[in-house]
Amino acid sequence: METAFRKIDIDKYDEEVLRDEDLYDADPRDPGQVLEEARQRQAAVRSSLAKNDTAGALAVILDNAPYGPNVDEAKQITLSTLLTILNSTKATEITSVIKALTPDAQDTLMKYIYKGMAMPGWGDISGSVLLGWHEKLTEVAGVGSIVRAITDRRIV
Amino acid sequence: MPPEVFTLAQIPITAHAFSANRKELAASLNSNDVRLYTRNGSEWTPTETLSEHDKLITSIDWAPRSNRIVTASQDRNAYVWTETPDPESGKLIWKPTLVLLRINRAATHVRWSPLENKFAVASGARAIAVCSFDEESNWWVAKHIKKPIRSTVLSVDWHPNNVLLAAGSADMKARVFSGYIKEVDERPAPSVWGSKLPFNTVCGEFSSPAGGWVHAVGFSPSGDILAFASHDSSITVVYPSGPAIFTIRLPSLPLVALSWISEESIVAAGHDCKPLVYAGSEQGWQEVGTLDDASSSKASEGPRSGFGGSGGVGRLKTGAFATFRDADTRGQSTLGGASSVSSDTKLNTIHQNTITSVRPYEEHGGYVTKVSTTGVDGTLVIWDTNEVSTLTGKMGGVRI
């Protein structure tokens, strides 16, 4: 039986097709700039962590996080930087660190926690760390934050 | 006054609407039929069934002055029902008139305009059909608002001037359109939304804060403020004249329906099964509490826990979560008994499932004193909007 027709991209022929990009406002920055900013943030986080300022480091990395297409490298840098912060935070400090974040940053953090959990082998991080952060973050920001992380098309 | 609770069915109520005198109720019980009820003291008795649609009815609206019912359905049709005497028996019966909507997807929501000479039908065809009556051909005709809608329209609401129309859509935006129809409308006075308003003018477009599709939209009583609730667990209030936009991020599950009760307050409800009250002004908006006072309803039915046990924040720890955790860490597979976890699956709220519709029920001096809600649990509840209890107070009560 002829099955090649199944591989035809029929959306190409639909003038009214709804694309992912139609569902959110694109990042105004160009990909090169986003990557540059991600690298700068990585450096800023390192110096914050050296000063033991976890809350500050988190706020830096979660502000203006890269999203959308064509910024995969910046996303990767941001994620690994963020996971470093999560890993190096003491369990007893997590709640106070989360409370210091803005609601926006809390939602972004939730997105990254889910992204981390979605990665094969969970990145380089042990499961209990992400789950611990998830639990504490849900206590502070509520299940609404999970709903926002799942609904938002601005995928980090 | 405590809320009045009526269990109409054990199946979801997809839509409900009251007659002007609030003695009759039209409801759709997740089916192709509309059922009419008459109030008998503290009961609603089924009287008639309106059958004409051949797919699920999604929305019902009852025009208070002209006493006409309009229904929208997934069969892509709308019917206007008028009560007319039967030529043979002389008995009053509800007679349907088909509306030519010309849409190729389900109709999702319908609302009469304030003057009752038009109604708007939202649909999955990325369009809103604005319908008016054509005297010459004795027929309801539709005009489409299409641009720039990118996805299913989930809700519509009319501005008091009978021309402007708010729409919430699955393309994550709430918009304000002009639904001006030359043949039936007088030119509207300029408002905060604009002065030149030919049909399909986009007077405002607002994105949901974190990319959630917009479930519900509503104009304030004056029409100068717009509120919308979206699936990113947020409610947004827009002052176009400011312009000022206030967003409240909920710690709990998304709201799917809302109703203004005054120029400064809104009742909204959804997946958390309890109506919440928001209040504010051009200076800012905040949640003030809920109409579902758990502590008083608890007194009569004993302590309850479960999913709704402790409001939004931190509630993962209660109910089902605790059950699974105990099963995992302590090997406790049975519920109740010595365990601190209650086996009760009853929610701590009056509605036992998602509330899908909130409508004004009684007004007093421009202030809505009562609202009605229906939901997936088949229950109709009429709430007194003055009975607001704060959530923090309620949580305190739960801990004791």
CA B366 to chain centre: 20
User: Are the Cβ atoms of B211 and A151 closer than 8 angstroms?
Assistant: yes
What residue in B sits closest to A139 (Cα-Cα)? B314
Q: What is the pLDDT of residue B301?
A: 42
User: Are the Cβ atoms of B232 and A151 closer than 8 angstroms?
Assistant: yes
The full DSSP string for B75-127 is TS-EEEEEEEE-TTT--EEEEEEEE----SS-EEEEEE-TTSSEEEEEETTS-
Of A23, A139, A147, the CB nearest to B253: A147
Q: Does any domain span residue B341? A: no
Burial A104-119 (b: 16+ CB within 10 A, else e): bbbbbbbbbbbbbeee
Q: Which residue has the tokens 């999913």?
A: B307
Instruction: Between B322 and A5, name the one with better pLDDT.
Output: A5
Q: What is the pLDDT of residue B262?
A: 96
Of A23, A142, A148, the CB nearest to B232: A148
Q: What is the pLDDT of residue B235?
A: 97
Element (H, E) at B297: helix B294-301
Can you give the CATH number for the domain in which B35 is found? Answer: 2.130.10.10
Q: Is B212 on the interface with A (CB under 8 A)?
A: yes
Write out pLDDT tens, residues A57-107. Answer: 999 999 989 998 889 999 999 999 999 999 999 989 999 999 999 999 999
Q: Is B150 on the interface with A (CB under 8 A)?
A: yes
Whole-angstrom Cα distance, residue B114 to residue B308? 37
User: Are the Cβ atoms of B314 and A18 closer than 8 angstroms?
Assistant: no
Cβ atoms of B359 and B259 within 8 Å: the answer is yes
Q: What is the pLDDT of residue B400?
A: 28
Q: Is B11 on the interface with A (CB under 8 A)?
A: no
Q: Is the pLDDT of residue A128 over 70?
A: yes
Q: H helices then E strands: how many in chain B?
A: 3, 28
Structural domain total, chain B = 1
Rg (CA), chain B: 22
Confidence tier at A21 by pLDDT (50, 70, 90)? confident
Residues with Cβ within 8 Å of B77's Cβ and at least 6 positions away in sequence, in order, are B53, B98, B99, B101, B107
Q: What is the pLDDT of residue B8?
A: 95
List, in sequence order, every residue forming a beta bridge with B368; answer none if it has no partner: B363
Q: What is the pLDDT of residue B392?
A: 55
> Which residues on chain B are in Cβ contact (under 8 Å) with A103?
249
User: For residue B20, what are the domain limits?
Assistant: 4-292+357-391
Q: Does any domain span residue B313? A: no
For residue B237, give the nearest of B277, B293, B278 by alpha carbon.
B278
Which domains occur in chain A, in start order?
29-151 (1.25.40.190)
User: Are the Cβ atoms of A152 and B313 closer than 8 angstroms?
Assistant: no
Token digits for B223? Answer: 């029409």
Q: Report residues of chain B scoring pLDDT below 70.
A: 294-319, 332-344, 391-400
Q: What is the pLDDT of residue B310?
A: 40
Q: What is this model's ipTM?
A: 0.87
CA distance B213 to chain A (A): 8
Residues with Cβ within 8 Å of B134's Cβ and at least 6 positions away in sequence, in order, are B140, B141, B183
Of B151, B211, B312, the CB nearest to A154: B211
